[in-house]
Amino acid sequence: MKLSGWGRYPVIDSLPEFPVGDECVMKLIEAHGSGPLIGRGLGRSYGDSALAPTAVHSAYLDYFRYFDKQTGILRCAAGVSLASVLELIVPEGWFLPVTPGTKYVTVGGAVASDVHGKNHHIDGCFSEFVQSITIATANGIVECSKTSNAELFCATCGGMGLTGFILEVEIRLKRISSSFIQATTIKTKNIAETVEALDIHRSATYSVAWIDCLSTGKGLGRSLIMLGEHADDGGLQTGCKARLSVPFDVPGLFLNGVTMQAFNSVYYHRVTKAKSRSLVSYEPYFYPLDGVRNWNRLYGSDGFLQYQFVIPRKAGIEGLTVILNRLAASKRGSFLAVLKLFGEENSNYLSFPMEGYTLALDLKRSPEVFALLDELDDVVVGLGGRIYLAKDARMSKSIFQASYPGWESFSQLRRQWGADNIFNSIQSIRLGL
Amino acid sequence: MNNVLIIGATSAIATAVARIYAKRGDSLYLLARDESRLLKITDDLRVRGASEVYSARFDAQEFSSHESVLDRVFSLMKQVDVVILAHGTLPDQEACQSSVEVTLREIEVNALSSVSVLTHLANSLEKQGSGTLAAITSVAGDRGRKSNYVYGSAKAMVSVFLAGLRHRLFGKGVNVLDVRPGFVDTPMTKAFDKGPLWAQPESVAEGMVAAIDRGKAVVYLPFFWAWIMRIVRNLPSFLFLRTSL
């Protein structure tokens, strides 16, 4: 079966396995003694991190185990999607403590990528709220947490499924009294203003900036900053299904420098006031793209590359200016360029966030884009930053090793647990893990 | 609140159906062979809102156990509002062709066990004077085709049996529903390449619960299979025999 990530590049031949229980997963691991196999959830990682000759899908491992409505402790199988979790918990007055920009990821995937949200500067990554994980390792089923098998826990959170197949996860939820978000949009004129505004508003629970990455000169880095706080009332509602869908691959011609620039400009000028407030449901606020099913088809059949990097705080405005200038000069902008201020990094071996600025871009795939991103890699790593593994499809081994200092200990731990011979993705092989 | 009995509760469609009833706050009784999975599904349905979830081991091929297992369900639940029959296997047609033994075993699992269970259930529901008896058959039962006539003929037998039960129980307060899904993306069909005709178990489950709520007799899921099968059934033999269906 042909298989790819959400960016639809690369595409490989992969044998799909759909285990229906924990025992089936262990049998698969034993049967595929030398791998390579990798766990796979909803396939929303962009690149090749969930691609392997054998992909173990978690689609039928989607059971809730328990949910304590008083304490907000939820335990479920790894294949449960964040969408299903929200549907269950929101009406009871609970929310995901950390959520990525789509609810169509599995809980197992959220752990494996140690996802972050718009509140990273305050709350950190998803793993912060994980109480324990059950993993099918090469040596059997193992339970781990911050206190027991702590090293395996730190390697598994952000470990891209390379320590074993995640079976169950227990998380600590966040109390809410409303499913609505009090959103504030601030319009900035350039990168300096953007960075300053993010900094001024760093006590806001949620904050993120959408950057017009094709604007040059004085307007370089002009943005719409979206702040958010959980509202106090408005009710506890869920259930916005995707109303729009992209039924086929949009021809490549559609996305070019002109349409991209027009879109970015319109999007920026849509907001007329310097500061505006509105009350919105959590779904459009956190998951704007979930409203359009198969939006990845907008980039045509060639697919696209997501590029998300982080640079340390001290590299700040100068670093971002260098990168934005290169992007604007290449005219290969992105429909969505998202900038965010990260808080402190955690101690997980391969977790992506570090204190500083992160920027995420979508770029239509072309040979020139690979060259551009290779150049940007050098700039990012030169500034002391790194690239997000859940979005990567092309980073070189040397760039990876230079930017993830925990990689050697991670590899060692993988050997210790016998994972190196079995659990491998196309990405892990490329990165030499 | 309804009391729902599901036989073959670990199947993908049955699990999806059970989740719909659980969300409504109904009481569920699950029967299936794999006890460890049954326990996980039980927990899951409780979390999703079911008021009670009971479960017991059930082996379709142990015919002698059917009556006592079902009696226990009726004595515990007092009243059973909905029964769903979802157990079954997907035979390997080629293996069946080369072995009478395999063929008969598949007929036993997919047809005779249902006949046994349905007989007991029909009697209990008739006595109760209410309820819906819904069984998952297949579009494959509509016309024998070379690619899966062992499965198809077993399902056809169940369909005709259900039609007879419907006739018998008409006016007795019991509705009999024959659910005929087309291609469904489940662990049973994981080896198949999926095309546009394939449906997800969740959407089949929704259609099934809607048909139960409306008291329908036969339902094709998704709906377009009714049209496809109308054509397949009415295709003249001289044409049909030349197809590779």
Q: Is pLDDT above 70 for A244?
A: no
Q: Which residues contact B144 (CB under 8 A, 6 or more apart)?
A: B152, B153, B156
Provide the CB-side half-sphere exposure for A41 (13 A, CA): 30
List the beta strands (DSSP E) in chain B: 3-7, 27-32, 52-57, 82-85, 131-136, 174-181, 218-221
Neighbouring C-beta atoms of residue A258, cutoff 10 Å: 9
Percent of chain B topping pLDDT 70: 100
Q: A167-195 pLDDT, tens per residue?
A: 999 999 999 999 999 999 999 999 999 99
Centroid of chain to Cα B148: 18
pLDDT classification of A212: cutoffs 50, 70, 90 = confident
Instruction: Compute φ and ψ for B117, nearest 5 degrees.
Output: -60, -45
Question: How far does A110 lie from chain B, in Å, by closest CA?
Answer: 20
The domains found in chain B, sorted by start residue, are: 3-241 (3.40.50.720)
Q: What is the pLDDT of residue A214?
A: 77
Task: Tell me the two tokens of residue B237.
Answer: 């033999």
Rounded to an integer, the average pLDDT of B50-65 is 97
Question: Is residue A253 predicted with pLDDT exceeding 60?
Answer: no
Residue A206 near residue A184, CB atoms below 8 Å: no
Residue A113 sits at φ, ψ, to 5 deg, of -95, 0
Report d(CA A339, CA A321) in Å as an integer: 13
Using the predicted structure, report yes or no on whether residue A2 has a pLDDT greater than 60: yes
Q: Which residue has the tokens 């045509």?
A: A300
| Predicted local confidence at residue A267, as pLDDT | 73
Quick one: CA dihedral B104, B164, B8, B245, positive or negative? positive
> Which residue in chain A has the smallest CA separation from B196?
A247
| Gap between the Cα atoms of B32 and B34, Å rounded | 6
- Which pLDDT value is given to residue B189? 83
Per-residue three-class SS string for chain A: CEEECCCCCCEEECEEECCCCHHHHHHHHHHCCCCCEEEECCCCCCCCCCCCCEEEECCCCCCEEEEECCCCEEEEECCCEHHHHHHHHHHHCEECCCCCCCCCCEHHHHHHCCCCCCCHHHHCCHHHHEEEEEEEECCEEEEECCCCCHHHHHHHCCCCCCCCEEEEEEEECEECCCCEEEEEEEEECCHHHHHHHHHHCCCCCEEEEEECCCCCHHHCCCEEEEEEEECCCCCCCCCCCCCEECCCCCCHHHCCHHHHHHHHHHHHHHCCCCEEEEEEEHHHHHCHHHHEECHHHHHCCCCEEEEEEEEEHHHHHHHHHHHHHHHHHHCCCCCCEEEEEECCCCCCCCCCCCCEEEEEEEEECCHHHHHHHHHHHHHHHHCCCEECCCCCCCCCHHHHHHHCCCHHHHHHHHHHCCCCCCECCHHHHHCCC
The proportion of chain A whose per-residue pLDDT surpasses 90, expressed as a percent, equals 76
**Start-to-end C-alpha separation, chain A:** 25
**Which of B11, B43, B185 is best to mutate for the A interface (most A CBs within 10 A)?**
B43
Spatial separation of the C-alpha atoms in residues B13 and B16, rounded to whole Å: 5
Angle between helices B201-214 and B12-23 (to 10 degrees): 60
Does B47 contact A66 at a Cβ distance shorter than 8 Å? Answer: yes
Q: Which of B21, B29, B149, B151 is catalytic?
A: B151
pLDDT score at A254: 61
> Of the given ranges (B152-156, B162-166, B183-187), which has the lowest mean pLDDT?
B183-187
A370-399 confidence digits (pLDDT tens): 999 999 999 999 999 999 999 999 999 999
Average of per-residue pLDDT values in chain B: 96
Place of tokens 């919105």: A280
Angle formed by the axes of helices B149-169 and B100-107, nearest 10°: 30
Tell whether the torsion through CA atoms of B158, B164, B168 and B174 is positive or negative: positive
Largest CA distance in chain B: 55
List phi, psi (to 5°) of B104: -65, -35
pLDDT, tens digit, for every residue of A73-112? 999 999 999 999 999 999 999 999 999 999 999 999 999 9
- b/e string for A356-395 if b means 16 or more Cβ within 10 A? bbbbbbbbbbeeebeebbeebbebbbebbbbbbbbbbbbb
- Does the distance separating the beta carbons of A1 and B193 come in below 8 Å? yes
- How close is the nearest chain A Cα to the Cα of B21, in Å? 14
State how far the Cα of A250 lies from the Cα of A301, in Å rounded to an integer.
8
Cis before A247? omega within 30: no
Tokens of A270: 């849509």
Which neighbouring-strand residues pair with A174?
A: A95
For CA atoms A90, A96, A99, A102, the dihedral sign is negative
CB-based contact A387:A308 (threshold 8 Å)? yes
Whether A265 shows a pLDDT value over 90: the answer reads no
Which pLDDT value is given to residue A28? Answer: 94
pLDDT classification of A291: cutoffs 50, 70, 90? confident
| pLDDT over threshold 60, residue B20 | yes
A253 has a chain B CB within 8 A of its CB: no
Per-residue model confidence (pLDDT) at position A268? 76
Mean pLDDT of B51-72: 97
Residue A1 contacts B, CB cutoff 8 Å: yes
Q: Which residues on adjacent β-strands are paired with residue A2?
A: A13
Distance of CA A301 to the CA centre of its chain: 22
Distance of residue B10 Cα from the nearest chain A Cα, in angstroms: 9
Distance CA A242, CA A290 (A): 6
Strand partners, A4: A11
Residues B88-105: tens digit of each pLDDT: 999 999 999 999 999 999
Nearest CA to B2 out of B81, B60, B78 is that of B81
Residues of chain B neighbouring A66 (CB-CB closer than 8 A): 43, 46-47
Window A:53-82, CB contacts with B under 8 Å: 60, 63-67, 77
pLDDT of A241 over the 80 cut: no
Query: pLDDT tens for residues A53-74?
Result: 999 999 999 999 999 999 999 9
In this complex, the residue of B41, B44, B190 whose CB is nearest that of residue A16 is B190
Mutate which: B39, B190, B198, B200, vs A, most A CBs within 10 A: B190
Give the whole-angstrom CA distance, residue A406 versus residue A425: 19
A255 — pLDDT class (breaks 50, 70, 90): low
Task: Verify whether the Cβ–Cβ distance B47 to A23 is below 8 Å.
Answer: no
> What is the pLDDT at residue A294?
81
pLDDT for res A250: 66
What's chain A's average pLDDT?
92
Q: What confidence score (pLDDT) does residue A407 get? A: 97
Question: Bridge-partner residues for A229, per DSSP?
Answer: A182
CA dihedral A91, A124, A83, A5 (to 10 degrees): 180
CB-CB neighbors (< 8 A) of B40 in chain A? 21, 63, 65, 77
Pairwise CB contact (< 8 Å): A20 & B43: no
Chain B residues contacting A via beta carbons under 8 Å = 10, 12, 34, 36-37, 40-41, 43-44, 46-48, 187, 190, 193
Tokens of A54: 């054998």
The token pair at A10 is 């690369």
Mean pLDDT of B200-212: 97
- Of B193, B195, B211, B192, nearest to B203 (Cα)? B211
**What Cα–Cα distance (Å) separates residue A166 from each residue in A140, A158, A402?**
12, 12, 28
Residue B78 has pLDDT above 90, yes or no: yes
What residue has token string 């699950």?
A: B30
Tell whether A18 lies on the interface with B, counting CB pairs under 8 A. yes
In the predicted model, is pLDDT for residue A252 greater than 70?
no
Instruction: Please name the residue of chain A whose CA is at the shortest distance from the CA of residue B45.
Output: A64
Contacts of B193 in chain A (CB under 8 A): 1
> In the structure, what pLDDT confidence band is assigned to residue A256 with cuts at 50, 70 and 90?
low
Does A254 contact B at CB distance below 8 Å?
no
Indicate whether A240 pLDDT > 70. no
A74 with A90: CB under 8 angstroms?
no
**A330-383: per-residue pLDDT in tens?**
877 676 789 999 999 999 999 999 999 999 998 889 899 999 999 999 999 999
Among candidates A18, A20, A64 on the partner chain, residue whose Cβ is nearest the Cβ of B47: A64
Provide the shortest C-alpha distance from residue A393 to chain B (in Å): 26
- Which residues touch A1 (CB under 8 Å, ≥6 apart)? A13, A14, A15, A16, B193
pTM equals 0.92
**Segment 408-427 of chain A within 8 Å of chain B by CB:** none
pLDDT at A269: 76
Per the CB < 8 A criterion, the answer to whether A387 and A402 are in contact is no
Q: Higher pLDDT residue, B118 or A274?
A: B118
A·B CB contacts under 8 A: 33
Name the residue with tokens 């419907």: B166
Cβ atoms of B195 and A68 closer than 8 Å: no
- What is the distance in angstroms between the Cα of B118 and the nearest Cα belonging to chain A? 27
pLDDT band at B111 (very low <50, low <70, confident <90, very high): very high
Q: Indicate if B149 belongs to the active site.
A: no
Residue of B nearest to A74 (CA): B47
Question: How far apart are alpha carbons A199 and B114 in whole angstroms?
Answer: 67
What is the end-to-end Cα distance of chain B in Å, rounded? Answer: 44
